[in-house]
Amino acid sequence: MRILLATAVLLSGCAAAPPARDPAVVRTDTGAVRGAVTTEHRLFQGIRYATAGRWAAPRPVRAWSGTKDATKPGHMCPQVGSPYAKTVSTTEDCLYLNVTTPRAVAGKLPVMVWIHGDGALGAGHFSDARALASRGVVVVTINYRLGVFSGFGYPGLANSGTYGLQDQQEALRWVRRNAAAFGGDPSNVTAFGVSYGALALGGQLTSPGAKGLFQRVAMQSGETMMDMVAGSLFPSLPAYPSFAWRSTEEVTALGRTYARQLGCADLACLRALPVQRILAIPQIMNVFQVYAYGNDVLPDSPPEAIRAGRFHRMPVLAGATRDEHRIFVGMNYDAAGKPLTERQYGTLLREAFGKDAPRVKRQYAAHRSPSQAWAAVLTDRMWARGTHEQNTLLAEHAPVYGYEFADRRAPMFLPLEADFDWGAYHAGDLPYLFPEKAARLTPAQRELAGQMTAYWTNFARTGSPNGPGLPAWPQVAEGTQSLAPGSIKPIDYAAEHRLGFWN
């Protein structure tokens, strides 16, 4: 019988080939998932990476049999949306992630894990990672708990005010276990994020639990070292020494206050409340858009830890936009139909800077409008000052590549209508990295987008953004890289933002 079978194979001219592997199916450590495949990419959506009870640590998911569908996003975490983002969710089962890879994967690719911005709304699937993946990387975008479901504190809660940070760490542990199955290198992971996502990464740099979970970090418009000037985000908001870091005691006190509003006297009552009841309290998501320190997740305030040199050493790419605060001033005043008057500008300066208000006004008098002047004051005093301190301190122990996104004609991708010059506004660089927001880019802006995706993926690959065909990018001690269409060059960031005056 064996001789007959062998003869039949020889006569057929070749042995039967093994069945081709289905590129849409990947086996993770807990089970198989089926995604979508195009001519250029593979996209896997809605992969559950953890489960978590309300205000409890996340846990890895249990294994499953069969193949799960991964062609649709998972649930968003609870949120009520905003005037500029009409997103709503009441589902706490929300710890999902998405993976985008090139269609053909040869060897182990760098992995980039995206932490989306805004600590009260958003989800990973809103960021289309195809442009980045086309540069030869695996991109993972994640959901994590937001607002009151992340930053809430109460007596008896372990690690109050850190649940979103814990989710991010659990997602990174999932990446470490599963990157290779998608063609990625689990020993070469770059965590990157914008705004609140970048702030979170500033915390992860100092968190003991994040050690070894990523090897490079890119922080876009992060607030890690930023303080709050009176009236900066909202007209009545007081000054505060930190943008979003609060002590466990402060967060717990806040939790007690809001528990009374919710009619609860203990944790069991709070955990039994419907999500809709919690979200019905005005501003509760924004109030708890903070992370707490003085616990196992964040033993110290991240700004103080960084100032003391206590952070995980790794290459850093970090920066801000040229006109960070214009979007906040525009939303509060001009887009609301009430642009600042000269008198209101003077009042804001006095409330923020007291006896130094006249000196500040002399420095920032030559602007198109009082709104633009107030935005310039806060961009320099808060954003640039915090970014410069962060990059300078990190550069004492690690290679740091600083940047400023400087395209003052960047298209506004949020639904904001106003006769207002938004400039290079906060998060205005997102359309240059994620193509779903890039429809209105000019040819010159598209060229800049290609250069930026090349810089970011080079950094993920080697720890340096530099590469063939790109303007040289020095480390931050030699200058901050200005990114604008047709004009990429190092600048003196401190001089441009008058940091000598502010310091």
Cα distances (angstroms) measured from residue 210 to each of 56, 89, 128, 166, 261: 18, 28, 26, 9, 35
Cα distances (angstroms) measured from residue 104 to each of 84, 185, 368, 468: 37, 15, 51, 23
In DSSP terms, 140 is beta-bridged to: 99, 113
Angstrom distance (rounded) from CA 23 to CA 165: 33
- Please indicate whether residue 195 is annotated as part of the active site: yes
- Structure token pair of residue 213: 């979970």
Q: Which residue has the tokens 């930023």?
A: 226
Checking DSSP bridges between strand 216-220 and strand 291-293, what pairing results, if any? Answer: unpaired
Q: Which of 368, 374, 366 is nearest to 332 (CA)?
A: 374
Angstrom distance (rounded) from CA 218 to CA 222: 10
Phi, psi of 29 (to 5 degrees): -70, -10
3 burial via Cβ count (<10 Å: 0-12, 13-18, 19+): exposed
Is the CB of residue 51 less than 8 Å from the CB of residue 145? no
Q: Which of 52, 37, 27 is nearest to 178 (CA)?
A: 27
In the chain, what is the straight-line distance between the N-terminal and C-terminal CA atoms, in Å?
A: 89
Catalytic residue among 150, 195, 301, 482: 195
- For the annotated catalytic residues, the residue numbers are 195
